[in-house]
Structure 1
């Protein structure tokens, strides 16, 4: 795996670690997790459109949006749930436990999705190393979450 891709993935992890607490603060100020989503998604929508247009002519791709299967659009609902969930959980369980649990869920789900080849990802064998890694993740969750 190329080092620049590893660096980019790590940077994305840092960004998530910054923006979820920011959304939590927005929810605190507004007094509502769902309300914190409104400015977040409005700015995300405008930013996405600007980036898409700035990166080249997108007329054909914009027209294809209407042809997307409805089940793929549920990712927007999931995103809203993630934001509302983080603004609810971070003040209650702490940011460290939240992120350890969040990443652990991603690792475990990624193993299942990879094994079965779900959601268009290539199927990959379940190895002893992957199982041991998952067990270490679970042990880490215990240590960080329950001390």
Structure 2
């Protein structure tokens, strides 16, 4: 299972590269949000191809869809918000500040989500080391954003 950490590391690298790619795409269009549709299409096609090749893709049944909590359907909206932010903000504040803020906000939010067991996560107490880690990340991103 160690290889999964490698997959996540690659996703983290992609997370840092993607805002620059998306920003360049947005700059090339008369209307920058047009790039969001191109990104969405790329996302759709990637999931479709990987899903079909791996055999892990099927439309949900009505019963499956009915069992899913309402808030679980909003992930795509949040993903769209991230892409719009990449398109409109990332180039102005730079890769380090953008990615640092994005990751740090995600980690701090994750500590809270874990502590309370919200949005489908198992409960993991916000211990002092976790809280200190989040605070150190906030301090680190503040130093990066100041430069």
Q: Please, what TM-score do these two structures have when normalized by structure 1?
A: 0.87
Query: Equivalent residue for 1:16?
Result: 15
- Are the equivalent residues in 1 in contact too, given 2:32–2:87 (CA < 8 A)? yes
- Are the equivalent residues in 1 in contact too, given 2:20–2:91 (CA < 8 A)? no
Is the deviation greater in 89-98 or in 67-76?
67-76
Q: Residues 91 and 3 of structure 1: is their aligned pair in 2 closer, same or farther, counting only changes over 3 Å?
A: same
Encode CA deviations 1:52-86: one digit per residue, 9 max, x unaligned.
2222274xx31438825553222111111111111
User: Structure 1: how far apart are the matches of 2:129 and 2:69?
Assistant: 36
Query: Unmatched 5+ residue regions in structure 1?
Result: none
Query: Equivalent residue for 1:7?
Result: 6
Shift of 1:129: 0.7
Q: Does 1:27 align with 2:26?
A: yes
Is the deviation greater in 23-32 or in 102-111?
23-32
Q: Residues 29 and 53 of structure 1: is their aligned pair in 2 closer, same or farther, counting only changes over 3 Å?
A: same
Is the deviation greater in 108-117 or in 35-44?
35-44
User: Structure 1: how far apart are the matches of 2:70 and 2:120?
Assistant: 16
Query: Unmatched 5+ residue regions in structure 2?
Result: none
Encode CA deviations 1:64-116: one digit per residue, 9 max, x unaligned.
38825553222111111111111111121111111110111011000000000
Is the deviation greater in 17-26 or in 42-51?
42-51
User: Structure 1: how far apart are the matches of 2:129 and 2:102?
Assistant: 21
Name whichever structure is richer in helix by fraction.
1
Q: Please, what TM-score do these two structures have when normalized by structure 2?
A: 0.87
Shift of 1:20: 2.0
Query: Equivalent residue for 1:103?
Result: 103
Q: Does 1:121 align with 2:118?
A: no
Instruction: Name the Cα RMSD after superposition.
Output: 2.0
Query: Equivalent residue for 1:90?
Result: 90
